Chain A
Amino acid sequence: MSAWTLAYAVLLYVAFTVLVGGVIYKIGIYAMTPAPLRIPTMPAPRTRLGVVARLGREVGLFASLFRGDKWAWIWSYLFHVSLLLVLIQHLRYVLVPIPEWVVLESPFGSYAAFVLLISLAGLLGRRLMIARVRFVTAPSDYLMLVLLLVIATTGALMRFVDRANIVGFKVFIQGLMALHPEPLPTAPLILVHVASVALLMVIFPFSKLLHAPGVFFSPTRNQTDSSRLEAQGAGEAGGSVGAEPVAQGGTLREGVR
């Protein structure tokens, strides 16, 4: 086994462990930390189903960001969607045989690389140019974007300019998955691309990238508007999925005296 193969095998095992272990640990912490007071940002849904819809709008459409800052929304939405398409395209390295839908998605995943690059440039540009955003930016905020730009650039180069040995790389990945490392193709672009991805994976559970699991645990977004139901002694927050609040319907009006 070459030194490159050994180094990258160790690197990816470590990175994967840190990413998965770290995120699971963090999710566990978030889930176990108490949220004693009801603080949903109103108007809030009154049922669990409504909360699912609200979180769906946040995660799927970035609804609050859209209300708050249209340019930030455009760049970050393009970034996240193109990243998702690119990641789906990369499933071909992991899955054997490659499922039909991954094959069909492949052209989208490939060309999404350009959207990814443009959106990252947009995010970096606004971070540099808008004084308010620059004021709240730490070095790590810039470096995170630079790291993503390195990943996207090397990836796009290997896809469109200097075609990488993707068959050899798939063999390497499959080897890692079988806990029996195969030789790593050592083209410089592959080395830089994979090392950058590994670094991003390691950073994930220690950085603001935790916004990804965090949004699901945000009390202002995931709590139901059900305090008065609890005051009535009408049971658990929000009741069961789809349950209509029983309290107010017939009683709010000054009908009974």
Chain B
Amino acid sequence: MSDIKAPVLQDYVPIPELHPGAMAGVKPFKASAEHQAALGFPGTLVDDWKAVAIKRLGELVDGSRALKVYLDSCVKCGACTDKCHYFLGTSDPRNMPVARQDLLRKVYRRYFTWAGRLFPWLVGATDLTEDVLDSWYTYYHQCSQCRRCSVFCPFGIDTAEVSMAAREILDSVGVGQKYCNEILGKVHKIGNNLGLPEPALRNTLEGLEEDVKEATGVDVRFPVDVVGAEVLLITPSADFFAEPHIDGLIGYAKVFHQAGISWTVSSQASEAANFAMFIGSREQMQKVAQRVRDAAIALKVKRIVVGECGHAWRVAYAFWSTLIGPLDFLDPRYPRPQHICEVTEGLIARGALKLDPSANDDKVVTFHDSCNVARATRMGDRPGGQFTVPRSVIRSVCAHFVDMDPATIGDRTFCCGGGGGLLTDDLMELRVKGALPRMQALDAVVQGKKVTHMAAICAICKTQFSKVMPYYGLPREMVISVHQLVGDAIVLGAKE
């Protein structure tokens, strides 16, 4: 634990006084020329960067109705100004969503609107300078693209769209972020974010089979590249060995085992995450998604099930149909794609899993709605299923469940503080401070309702929480996978 000072938890999260420049010095490491080249981006700042950046900005705005409308429409009403966890945690006014958007908007207005061309001083338009470019790199990497601000905007202005565009422009002039771009390189080269090659993957999963056999006496399989399996599981590679993620993977395997559903992971697409979304690159996002389609066809599966990963579920649920659709080679009787929580909820509903919730009697559980799941996707067949399905699964396997403050869950949920490609140690100060609103809400139920565990359905959330919770005096073991609760409650062999 470094010497970063976490904000003190109070009874509520106060709206901070403004401290301009408080986070101006916090920025992630830049991508090396090698990382940039692997994605087809220039390795260092190009000579005519200004012209390139303005041209790219124009192209992006012309290709996106969202950007076009959002860069025009903001009336500076201020409704979003106290909604961002990074502003609440850092008090830097550039972390207010509208101020973050304005970093790009003021350049757009200068070069692409009459008002900005003729009266820049009047409408707050400015030239694109090296300082402005630098502020983009800093503050667009202090946005986790969680879209909480867009919920409260009277015009639905989505800062994530602006932030993605800014990162895409930065990449196009040769200023990339190391964390995201290095990871994308690994996905292309090896198949997953963690750079886990196929033999290591097989080895890890065999190890898991032995562990589960030892713990339960039952042969639960963790198959790799099984042609003709019914389900292709696309899950974040953190599930293969990070804690607490791996217990979630064991949970999925037990669900499939108990329900008699044959499944497999793919060594070619051994990663659900699609960090191309974070850097705003449609082209990269399509390429990364294409692996999944190719793997599903090669393995002749009937269904694609996505594991616990927030932004991956967004890409799968909302974008796959555009990027790699239609998924008409899959069994039409199931949603395409399907979330693991939907699978488990359906199986529980028809009694296909024998469950013993007393296995989780030692826990009082709350649930963290992941931003991308909450505000960009759905589960189940009803609006709001993304909130009710995971909770229904938890309630089926655990007797003691309580929710956190309603203003911090559902579509008003706070980001964990590590989403959007910011889950890197070089942004630890930002991550610790940005976790404040969630930590406050969690601490309140820990104190008031004796909550012992917070379940999550996102690899980034799980990693982020287990890293930052100690800064707030909360034990890191509190964070668990929803499917760890499921896995622990399943009575294996009962149906055999």
Contacts and interface: CB of A to CB of B under 8 A. Distances in A.
A221 interface: yes
B325 A230 contact: yes
A232 interface: yes
Contacts of B322: 36-38, 227, 230
A52 interface: no
Contact of A131 (B18, B75, B320, B325): B18
A165 interface: no
A141 B123 CA distance: 8
Contacts of A99: none
A228 to B, nearest CB: 5
Contacts of B380: 248, 252
Contact of A219 (B20, B66, B98, B147): B66
A97 interface: no
Given A133-B78, A136-B99, A218-B155, A39 B68 contact: no
A68 interface: yes
A251 B81 contact: no
Interface stretch (B128-136, B169-177, B345-353): B345-353
B42 to A, nearest CB: 25
Interface string A28-50: 01100111111101111110000
A252 B147 CA distance: 28
B115 A207 contact: yes
Nearest to A203: B115
Contacts of A93: none
A139 B115 CA distance: 12
Contact of B123 (A36, A140, A227): A140
Interface in A217-257: 217-221, 225, 227-228, 230-233, 245, 247-257
B309 to A, nearest CB: 17
Contacts of A101: none
A132 B78 contact: yes
B68 A29 contact: yes
Contacts of A126: 78
B79 interface: yes
A143 B121 CA distance: 13
Interface in A186-229: 206-208, 210-211, 214-215, 217-221, 225, 227-228
A139 B320 contact: no
Contacts of A206: 113-115
A207 B74 CA distance: 10
Nearest to A251: B333
A254 B303 CA distance: 12
A232 B328 contact: yes
Contacts of A210: 72-73
Given A132-B18, A252-B335, A252-B380, A65 B72 contact: no
Contacts of A33: 62-65, 68
Interface in A146-200: none
B376 A136 contact: no
Nearest to B383: A43
A183 B98 CA distance: 47
B93 interface: yes
B65 A256 contact: no
Interface in B119-160: 119, 121-124, 147, 150-158
Interface in B62-116: 62-66, 68-70, 72-83, 93, 96, 98-99, 102, 113-115
Give the interface centre of A29, A207, A231, A245 by most chain B CB atoms within 10 Å: A231
Nearest to B74: A208
B386 interface: yes
Contacts, number: 248
B17 interface: yes
B411 interface: yes
A227 B153 contact: no
B113 to A, nearest CB: 7
Nearest to B113: A206
A64 B343 contact: no
A37 B316 CA distance: 12
Given A42-B376, A136-B98, A221-B156, A207 B123 contact: yes
A133 B327 CA distance: 46
A254 B77 contact: no
Contact of A227 (B77, B79, B317): B317
Interface residues of A, number: 70
Contact of A68 (B153, B333, B347, B384): B153
Given A58-B154, A231-B320, A254-B343, A35 B66 contact: yes
B318 A37 contact: yes
Give the interface centre of A43, A46, A252 by most chain B CB atoms within 10 Å: A252
Contacts of B114: 206
B319 interface: yes
A231 B75 CA distance: 36
B282 interface: yes
Given A69-B78, A227-B317, A232-B336, A252 B346 contact: yes
A121 interface: no
A30 B79 contact: no
Nearest to B73: A214
A126 B78 CA distance: 10
Contact of B259 (A137, A215, A225, A254): A254
Contact of B75 (A208, A219, A227): A208
A62 interface: yes
A67 B326 contact: no
A44 B151 CA distance: 11
A76 interface: yes
Interface in B50-71: 62-66, 68-70
B335 A132 contact: no
B39 to A, nearest CB: 19
Interface string A11-42: 00000000000000010011001111111011
B153 A64 contact: yes
A78 B479 CA distance: 46
B79 to A, nearest CB: 4
Interface string B302-333: 00000000000000011111100111100011
B48 interface: no
Contacts of B155: 58, 211, 214-215, 218, 221
10 contacts: A34-B63, A35-B66, A38-B318, A38-B319, A42-B374, A42-B376, A131-B18, A143-B122, A248-B381, A251-B333
Nearest 9 pairs between A and B by C-beta? A68-B152, A138-B124, A214-B73, A68-B79, A220-B156, A248-B381, A133-B78, A231-B321, A254-B346
